[in-house]
Chain A
């Protein structure tokens, strides 16, 4: 008998999606209702996860679905950040009139796909989750269909993503062919050192996954898609798929293929260094906030990958801490962006920030700490994120990676400083509106306080993350 307790949240989400779809279709003008109900269903599924705490890892459906500390933690942070994203972008989607019933439903489906990805312990299941997540995201990217860049970004994302999914599937089939199974445990047990086919398979899958987290050199889609999509969807893009894809990265590399670490370690190191450097350098010349944050997120993924390259539990834990802190910083950054509104128009250029500190000191201060935190300056949370990563990296004596990573933080600091310069040093423009809805204020407050006060008790996150032992 399969113990279904632990997948109640997935089941509930699936049912909620269908119910909400029915409500949306049969009840006229129900977009607000559906939106609010979907936030509530996210909260309920979060509560369902929290109400069945696990003591040990559990495998379901012939070992293809795994519930352990890693998946539970990642599910909790994805679902809660999704809730915050939806809370903060409520007003935005009304104003640019994309508040159709499909919007929250697509978000929820993508969410469901991600949860499946996070827990998957099998190549097929992982692929199903990935596709569910991606298909919803293609539509979301082009959701503002009257706006040309939005349609363009959706199409671009679709074409490139389909290509990478193809590569990924090819990798899956290679691995299946050489190991005889799609299940991670069986692959691990049947592993022999000298099968090149498996190595090829790993490389193809890594390409597909690197595409999803937009690591260099598979990052080309990110800036365009970030810029073209509605900002609410960009927020989503910048945070959630990365958490899910990083989890799969961890599980895929460390469960079946840990013994082949010599084969993939160098690839991860390359991806990491390339992303850190490219993200830092390419962001310097940007004029749009969303493009800038796209490059910045490329760089941040480089740091998260640096933790993965170590091949140790400490490395995985540091990556997870990194992505958690990264999530708060990005949430805060986008919440700030949602506040740049004047007469029902949103401002997305870097120059629009000019002199923000004179008219909106609190908003400017939030920007300040978020940007310094993204740059990794102590005592803000971003510093600790980098600190964990580099202490894991240096533990393995990978000094080259550490030094390159830290030098690229100096380069990256330049463009964050540029934003701060514009906010604080330049002359001010017109005021922005200040009547924001509660959800937006709440998500900005939560993320800013988290970043600012993290240093008081940094152990809490490491204590949670300590339980995650994959190896």
Chain B
């Protein structure tokens, strides 16, 4: 057997976290702890790049498979990646070191615990993206609640307890129904192995109910309208690094889950529920964009924009076309980068002026010019301007949607305009205008660390905007195969 690279990706951050947890804590050793965490997460990133490098995009089967007996005769520990999941692993491993660097300014107390929580979180999220067994997936999916609950609750703002509870209970409620569905699938088919389930298919009689059970979990996590109410609260109260993790990776777990499980396992039910998904996605796109327009809190605005962007993702997935799913994955990766960047940018302002309200700022361009430039790139990335990664994803999704349903696509396009409206208006109010508040004049421009973090996000956003090939190449074959399997399944079951 080859080197178990996926298990190492999962285990390495946990081991680092354990090491940090049991190391003696003294206030002057904070720096050492941070470097240790940085080392662990960067090493994991390099490992994930190696994984991407050695991944063969021309094979549609799962690669780097590991299959071990875990609960005897019941569940196997099975992990593997294909073109759909590998990019999320790279994204996770990329975002985590940035979070670790960014804690410099934001986390004042209990830095050690925070780093432990972030590393554990990384492990669990990588686990989600590469598990190929429903129970193993559930284990990672739910396990992520624990560190995230602590991150929001310990280091959040004023209403942190409320939002931590809301986050935890909402997601738990969604997930327990999924657990019932997973166990039912086991008793129906005798396995929870995803690849095996793909090949044998699930009885169409039960698909709708099972689909709804999975949907209840993913819809909360995505979040789709009307289950999105936990997200703005959780975001506003989470510390910057927490928001970044939440927006960049946690939300992607559900989008990924939709592709891998909802569509993959229950093709007939997915086809059946297309109208539901379209309507909810459209409401999410239009309604939350309008809500975002009215926000006074910058983090809340970005949080609502996340809901709108995830609406595009679900729309794209349920077109069941090559462009749609490719676009959704691209959109998720791009949104992971852009929203992480936006939250970090808000964090930059918040560290200096301790306010997240838009009206407390204005005219920042004259005192923080460098900041204004990078924020411009991120804003345009969120808007989806050609030349940024945001464009590719939205374009592909809309193209697929126009093929499927003209009306839906038209309404979704309005969302793109609304998105431009609230993002540009936000930018205008914060960056341009006259510098009215005198206390803002003392603010300094971004320092070297911040430049490093933000540039490392500017680069992929721009590069993937002009040259999306690496991502599209990686996903192409897997998605084509996935859609073929989907169509074959549909035809088989319809003929029956």
Contacts and interface: CB of A to CB of B under 8 A. Distances in A.
Interface of A: 357-358, 361, 365, 372, 377-379, 383, 387, 390-391, 394-395, 399, 402-403, 406-407, 409-410, 413-414, 417, 420-421, 424-425, 455, 458-459, 462-463
Nearest to A395: B187
The 8 closest A-B pairs by CB, nearest first: A406-B176, A459-B72, A378-B139, A394-B183, A378-B142, A391-B183, A410-B173, A425-B153
Contact of B177 (A357, A372, A403, A462): A403
Contacts of A358: 110
B187 A421 contact: no
A394 B180 contact: yes
A402 B172 contact: no
23 contacts: A358-B110, A361-B25, A365-B21, A378-B140, A378-B142, A387-B135, A387-B179, A390-B180, A390-B183, A399-B184, A403-B180, A406-B177, A406-B179, A410-B169, A410-B176, A413-B172, A414-B169, A420-B153, A421-B153, A421-B161, A424-B153, A424-B154, A463-B72
Contacts of A414: 165, 169
A394 B143 CA distance: 23
B177 A417 contact: no
Contacts of B176: 406-407, 409-410
Interface in B115-170: 135, 138-140, 142-143, 145-146, 149-150, 153-154, 160-161, 164-165, 168-169
A378 B172 contact: no
Given A378-B140, A399-B180, A425-B164, 4 more contacts: A406-B176, A406-B177, A414-B169, A462-B71
Contacts of A390: 179-180, 183
Nearest to B155: A425
Interface of B: 21, 25, 69-72, 74, 110, 113, 135, 138-140, 142-143, 145-146, 149-150, 153-154, 160-161, 164-165, 168-169, 172-173, 176-177, 179-180, 183-184, 186-187
A425 B161 contact: yes
B164 A394 contact: no
Given A391-B186, A424-B154, A455-B139, A413 B161 contact: no
Contact of A458 (B71, B138, B149, B169): B71
Given A421-B161, A421-B164, A377 B180 contact: no
Contacts of A410: 169, 172-173, 176
Contacts of A420: 149, 153
Nearest to A384: B71
Contacts of B146: 372, 377
Contacts of B160: 425
Contact of B138 (A357, A378, A463): A378
Given A394-B187, A406-B180, A462-B72, A417 B165 contact: yes
Nearest to A421: B161
A365 B120 CA distance: 14
A377 B149 CA distance: 12
A197 to B, nearest CB: 37
A445 B150 CA distance: 23
B296 to A, nearest CB: 26
Nearest to B21: A365
A32 B172 CA distance: 48
A276 to B, nearest CB: 13
B168 A459 contact: no
Contacts of B25: 361
